[in-house]
Amino acid sequence: MSNEFIIKLNGEMRDGKREGASCGNEKTPGRMMQEPEGAEKVVRNVESMIQTYPLRENDFWYLVDYRWYLRWKSEWPSAPGTIGEIENKSLVDENGSVKNNLMENHDYILMPQSCWNRIRSFGFDVEIKRKVISTESGLLIEVHPVDLVIENGLNRNVNMRLSVSRITRVEQIKAPIMAQFQLSGKCYMMMVEEGEIIAIDESKTFEQLSIMSAVLVIVPQTEENKIKPFKIQEPVGYKRKGSSSGLVGLQNLGNTCFMNSALQCLSNTELLTEYFISGKYLNEINTENPLGMKGEIAGAYGQLIKEMWTTDEAVSPRHFKFTISRFAHQFSGYQQHDSQELLSFLMDGLHEDLNRIKKKPYVEIKDDDTRDENIIADEMWQLHKKRNDSIIVDLFQGQFKSTLVCPQCGYVSVTFDPFMYLSLPLPSTSQSTIQLTFVFKNKTPIKFSVKIPKNSFIQDLKEAISEKVDLATSKIFVADVYCSKIHSTFEDKRRLHITPNDTIFAYEVDDEEGIVQIPIYFKAPKKEYSYSEDLFGEPLVISLPSVISQSKLLNLIKEKVSPFLVAPKGFNIGLKEPYGPCIEIKESEENDLNFSSSHTLILQIKQDQEFSFLLNPTQVTEDHQDSSSPKADLGTCLDLFTRTEKLSQDDPWYCKKCKKHQQATKKFDLWRLPEFLVVHLKRFSYNRFFRDKIDTFIDYPIEGLSLAKYVKGPSRNGIYDL
């Protein structure tokens, strides 16, 4: 596109970057970084404020890389020197905009300004701040403004990018656009939608128009276009001629695959789809239910299903997503989300919007455990149906039996509760699988995985690596690589806290006395020599004496790097001190250099240099031994779900016979099965610092899944097909 730039309404324009992003190596060594005095208290305070700080209109919140935040929480109190600066660069694109494929509390965490002020003294490469705005559905932090491409209707080769708040009215952006395109007179703002340029209401906000990203065209009024909009060429491959009813795709609005996959599953649930296509749902919409959404969720879903089953073209779920976002702020913007979270919210919303019970009666549960279980279960189900009666209950809800046994007096409590989906635990292993790339001094790097016990130390990891590469642990240097540089190094006595998102490299190094390990980073060509964040590839590590002449240093670096250059033509080398500038090292100078482990070397490749970086994962030799993930099936997960467990000390049960809280045993059983069973696999486990993904492979049948052995009530045979 030509003439690309960014306009920031009601604010300054900052170097072509969107609101909330500023770049630079700002480091202000302060008390927090130098003295971890009271560090644990600071960590607790920051954690608490992130969770409890209220949203206030026009306040600023800051995005912080989640991996850095987790390391800060876990390492700063005990090892303050290992943290390093806040590295937010991976969160933004080349324009400084927050990338669309990110998830909150996975890729980044949001914190109020007071928290940011506490941690910014560590230094940062990119500051990302976002404003709290007031929308129709309440206050929210606008992580992703509306992304627009504006085309000149007179010359569509001339266009511009625009980033605005969702609460901006369309008419507010017209004047600056006309000025940029040098247009005068009356102009229309129009939108490209499904192969046509259509008129939009300029008095409305982008939120009211359900626009989160779009291509807009500014069209000067002429005699020809006074009445009807004109068409543009249809995108190639947009139509799906001859497709079967319902077999259509959903357009990706920007990381909405999590939503689209859930919608496709529900859409292909035949009885539910027939209910919506027939229009029967219109007679059951409950606008009086205080727990519902005034029928808007049901209406938006019904409209979407009708479109999907009456067209042969890919359908845009824009209106549906906008409606969902109004009632659940977490689904606004372009972040990735968990598909189960969306499905759960949607099914709850459909149930409440379509609840046939207009006024829920008060129901009293009898406290009588002497009756037959079948009678109690049926009674509890009927009481549930007196307050909850919808197509969702008819098709998707079943009933659990929950049994609690007091370890003190033996009292047994049995209850029956409804469920909408099964959240099944996954079998986990007592070992962690760490994938890493090992870089030898004189051989091709290899990629492999090692298995070590959970809660191990870094020394245990180095011993496992040592067995693989046949080197002493003292000759192994382990680091976390992030954004083309070493994010952190690991001390032997530190407990292992490596997340699935970490990129681990291990290097063969020298272990003689007086030797320090110095990272080498690779910098893209530039006309002027200056250190900046335009690094590429993966870093190397070189072993150097603490004192060395410049000429000898250059020779060692060339020897280290030359195997990775196709046709060596030279490069500039800079020495970077902590919080200092990058100083160029010249071959003509013989001065000695003093090295410490906090230094880094920057190699700037010359403009015409051919560079073949062997540490690219696609070129590294892989060792697949012992790399397979553990396997299980749904039966294993159901066995775990229905096994007897003892309650923890933090979650005791009150025994009405003993009259005190007890660590009772608890067991779940299936009692009543639904027509359609929704299964959720709980792939994440949590501790204070990390979210650990369980990578166990789960096998499940396409047809004939039998739950008969798990059903304790007089239910159906429990055979399901996918």
Cβ neighbours of residue 555 closer than 8 Å, sequence gap 6 or more:
none
Rounded Cα gap, residues 303 and 276, in angstroms: 9
Query: From the centroid of its chain, how far is CA 198?
Result: 34
The DSSP letter of residue 709 is: G
Summarised one tens digit per residue, pLDDT across range 295-334 is: 999 999 999 999 999 888 888 888 898 888 888 877 876 6
Write down the architecture of domain 398-427+631-720 according to CATH. Answer: Alpha-Beta Complex (3.90)
Residues in the chain: 722
Place of tokens 């467990």: 645
pLDDT for position 116: 95
Phi and psi at 636, nearest 5°, equal -60, -45
Give the whole-number percent of the chain exceeding pLDDT 70.
Answer: 76
- What is the model's pLDDT at position 428? 72
Supply φ then ψ for residue 633, to 5 degrees: -125, 175
Considering 224-238, 576-590, 612-626, the range whose residues carry the highest mean pLDDT is: 576-590
Question: Within 13 Å and on the Cβ side, how many CA atoms surround 473?
Answer: 12
**146-220 and 431-622, same CATH topology:** yes
- 539, 486 contact by CB (below 8 A): yes
Residue where the block lists tokens 């309404």: 9
On whether the 21-141 domain is CATH 3.30.230.70, my answer is no
HEC states along 196-257? EEEECCCCCECCCCCCCEEEEEEEECCCCCCCCCCECCCCCCCECCCCCCCCCCECCCCCCH
pLDDT of residue 87: 85
Which one, of 719, 717, 715, lies nearest residue 703 by Cα?
719
Confidence of residue 194 (pLDDT cuts 50, 70, 90): low
* pLDDT mean across residues, the chain: 79
- Helices 318-327 + 339-353 axis angle, to 10: 80
CATH number of 431-622: 3.10.20.90
What percent of the chain clears pLDDT 90, i.e. is strictly above it?
A: 28
274 in Cβ contact with 341 (< 8 Å):
no
Average pLDDT over residues 193-199: 74
Domain positions in the chain are 21-141, 146-220, 257-353, 398-427+631-720, 431-622
Region 221-229: mean pLDDT is: 56
DSSP 151: E
Name the range with the highest mean pLDDT among 51-60, 68-77, 522-531.
Answer: 51-60
Listed as own residue / partner, the contacts of 80-85 with beta carbons closer than 8 Å and 24 or more positions apart are 80/33, 80/35, 80/36, 80/39, 82/488, 82/489, 82/491, 83/33, 83/122, 83/488, 84/122, 84/487, 84/488, 85/25, 85/27, 85/122, 85/123, 85/124, 85/125
| pLDDT, tens digit, 9 for 90 and up, residues 643-698 | 999 988 888 999 989 999 999 999 999 999 999 999 988 876 655 545 566 667 88
Residue 15 confidence (pLDDT) above 50: no
- Domain 146-220 fold is Ubiquitin-like (UB roll) (3.10.20)
Quick one: how far is CA 8 from the chain centroid?
27
Burial degree of 681 (CB within 10 A; 0-12, 13-18, 19+): middle
Q: Give the pLDDT band of residue 32 (cuts 50, 70, 90).
A: very low
Which residue's entry shows tokens 């404020």?
49
> Are 657 and 482 in contact, with CB atoms under 8 Å apart?
no
Q: How far is CA 164 from the centre of its chain?
A: 23
CA distance 321 to 339: 13
Q: Give per-residue pLDDT as tens, 263-295.
A: 999 999 999 999 999 999 999 999 989 899 999
Among 596, 600, 609, residue whose Cα is nearest residue 576: 600
Q: Which residue has the higher pLDDT, 367 or 629?
A: 367
